[in-house]
Structure 1
């Protein structure tokens, strides 16, 4: 699933193509919003909120979430899309560009005053102007028995971290993903998470090791069976989540993380 830095970059691309321009055509290809027409509205703002995208056009908010396979792409007028048309869920056109949302996990058009119905549950946004480390720490500390990786992934605690960051943070802090949040130096984890995602928000390749070469950019994530970059022990993996439906694959070094 795309993480907060990926969504932040998508918002910046859409901002450059859409903001300040009048929509000449909109096409929402989901039944609930198929009759909505925002043509004639000016696109005022495109922002990321954790893993969510919010586009403000007139009195409306276009809310989307990429989930596992979604993407927003920008094309010149009339250009051929790189994905089949049946995967398109939203098409926004102005005189200079067209923005197409493919395979979006969530797409809805809301009156702007109802925006909180979509994102009001989220914790502080690590890449937002209103980032509040103390509030994130308060929320994380409220459930001390939850495994720390699960707590970091819970968007109600802090918004933007996904499975890559949760796994890499646990390695860098030397703790197992299953370690209880209440027995963890959460302040240090929150500070490191903020620094990591901020450092990556403009990078084309997410890097947590300091090595920008592809295949060298993570410590443990996606490296099951490969040697730990610090001690050489094979990286292990397991499933972890609040419920079976929310389980994610976690990666860890059994020697460096205790």
Structure 2
């Protein structure tokens, strides 16, 4: 059963070592993510499942605790593992474990930053576009695995909020992001389920499938939502929310 969830964005710039000047405009987002993880830990889960967008060959790619992630492709010798240990250089890549997609590597950095030790961790990469029905079913399956499950849901909103955004300006983006923010603030599973997958793809909203997976996991619960952060500093919508 799902007992708590945190929703966080997953831009690599969230990791200060990757950002020139540590991207101080993201300090508030980093603080909100740390607060959200505190809510997860306080729920005393039996298992934390971390989900994030991925571009792998499978629609749903599992990653075990201890899976390795790296930011070396961004020019920084920084490696992480999905186990809650602090991030730092020098981690050797375990040859038998798969490499985390960027979204889960950012999650691993967040978990290491707070030294997560509240429960075992499991990762799941979600390939876009994944149809809504499959997302909902996957969420239900995850919630049924343990008596107390927590979800860390990684994913960005639209990438079309300004002329300089990765997806250029799209007049539909602000309204889409506002509806997602409202749904997350209200823990509104119906609204998340109703998100238009085609529109989300056009707006480059990489978090859509993961948010709908959350909606499936939260079915039948009475969780309350809180929106901790909402901004689009680079023309990309970043949201941090908790359900508890």
Range into which the TM-score falls when normalised by the shorter chain: under 0.3
| TM-score (normalised: structure 1) | 0.27
The normalised TM-score by structure 2 is: 0.28
The structure where helix makes up a greater share of residues is: 2
Q: Which has the higher contact order (CA 8 A, sep 6+)?
A: 2
- Which has more radius of gyration? 1
